[in-house]
Amino acid sequence: MFSLNILFPVLNEEKRLKKGIEETCSYMEDNFQCPYCLTIVDNGSTDRTEQISRELCEKYTHVRYLRLQEKGVGMAFRAGVKNNDSDIVGYMDVDLSTDISHLKDMYHIFERDEAIQIVNASRLNKRSHMSGRKWYRNITSYGLAFLIRGVFSVKSTDVICGFKFFRRETAEKLIAQSSVENGWFFIIEMLIRAERGGMKIYELPVTWQDDPNTTVNVKKLVMNYLKNIVVLKKTLMIEDRKDQAGDDEK
């Protein structure tokens, strides 16, 4: 039986935090027998997020709260893994856009196949169901997914979806290999490096409902992705040349 740690990176989520955590706690109690915890990783919120988080920790024994001063999902994920002691660790969005029932699917996948090191949810898989998505966000999601697949030759149909889980040693290894980028692209880099390293990744088709109240700045997010795609491509090319030089010397 594996232990499970679900990370919830949050920034000024006072409107959605309580509902998201309470629904997840209820689902876990009804469907899981394994040791588990829910870790709220707060990236320097200035609203009532901290107060609500501490109230949730008092109400639920399985809820933890981790406060950071810097913003960014990458920063939150690294901090969550650093403080993790569970066998399986990953993150999901607190708005529960990815149907919560996929937590059970994810856990059973790890149980059934010890070779699987990552479970990556995909909204763009042919068997997935996505609804409520604004047309312009559909364009950016499909466009960025297509661009990343082309530039890095990855097989994953959706490297962006906010539902990814790792075996503990896999997460730690990929963090050590990857950059210190603080934003969303850090998780994408981990997945790209996992594929390049031959790690076994299970793509999980999901039911996904867009949150109309999302706080994501799409333009800023796209520009950040484009910048980091260029940086990572150059980094990997340098690493490949060094590896080739090392092989030639043998």
CATH number of the structural domain spanning residue 95: 3.90.550.10
- 26 C-beta neighbours (distance < 10 Å), count: 12
pLDDT digits (tens, 9 = 90+) for 113-136: 999 999 999 999 999 998 876 656
Q: In the predicted model, is pLDDT for residue 41 greater than 90?
A: yes
Please check whether residue 130 lies inside any domain of the structure.
yes
Write down the pLDDT at residue 136.
Answer: 61
Please check whether residue 167 lies inside any domain of the structure.
yes
Domain of 142? 4-242
pTM for the full predicted model: 0.92
Please check whether residue 147 lies inside any domain of the structure.
yes
- Mean of the per-residue pLDDT values for the chain? 92
| Distance, CA of 28 to CA of 183 (rounded, Å) | 28
pLDDT: which is higher, 219 or 230 = 230
